[in-house]
Structure 1
Amino acid sequence: MGRRTRVLSEGGKFVAVGAVATVVALVLFNLLVHGVGGDGPMNGQPLLAFALANLIGMAVSYRGARHWAFRRREPVGPANGRVGFLVVNVVSLLIPMACLAVSRYLLELDGALADNVAANVVGLGLGVLFRFWATRRYVFRRPRGRVLTRA
């Protein structure tokens, strides 16, 4: 399989896994901050709620990335790549959290739409690009000197 085909295959699987993890995190975040028909239990703590929801989404993401998107790659580092994956995801989590903080605290926008556009559209888009690059580069590397089989 050529490099371009491999990148596209891994990228497509990475996006699919990320979509599932994002739905999990999105639902949890909105329940924690905006509740059902009113303020959620963490309405005054959107950054903490975002971090908690995304930590759960991160667990979903690791399983899918390790066992599907990057299954032909060798994990790097301790705990079968989990430590590196955690570091990459925590760093990439700061991107949407920064977008959410700007929206909430600088622009003083605190509605559900503003929160979701800032964190889950703008921030998530930037974070996904960083996460794909860093995960391929630092967490799941292509085996050197071995021919990869088709996914």
Structure 2
Amino acid sequence: MLRLSKMSDYAAVVMAHIARYPEQAHAAAELSEAVGVPRPTVSKTLKMLMHAGLLQSRRGAQGGYRLTRTPIEISVSEIIEAIEGPVAMTECSQAEGECGLAATCGVADNWQRVSMAIRQFLDSVTLADLAQKTPIKMPVMLPIQSVSLASISDA
């Protein structure tokens, strides 16, 4: 099963909550209570999101965490990458690497295409979309026609 880590899920939930109230600064304790995630986990998530440049923090009585950009300017892929690193289906679809199967694999280029398609979709979904209480409308995807080897050899 292809699945994001719980930390990525928590990061999306925290960011969506902040996006719903962008004018206010959010304390870790308040966020923890609002989203139902333990405070140490929220604090760790906030630090990772800050390190990625998605949040800024300010200390003091008027302090807290705020978005560095508007929710429509932050993509879901940025949130995932802040926690997971680059979005890629396989190691070789992220970067050229040391793979023992590289010489005989034959699918690396296709994994790169799949990774790019997933990345493009995640780039198209914004934090503003994620923060909506209503489901995101999915684009209509046309089925990909497969071509058999027999039909290629007949041509």
TM-score, with structure 2 as normaliser:
0.33
Larger Rg: 2
TM-score, with structure 1 as normaliser:
0.34
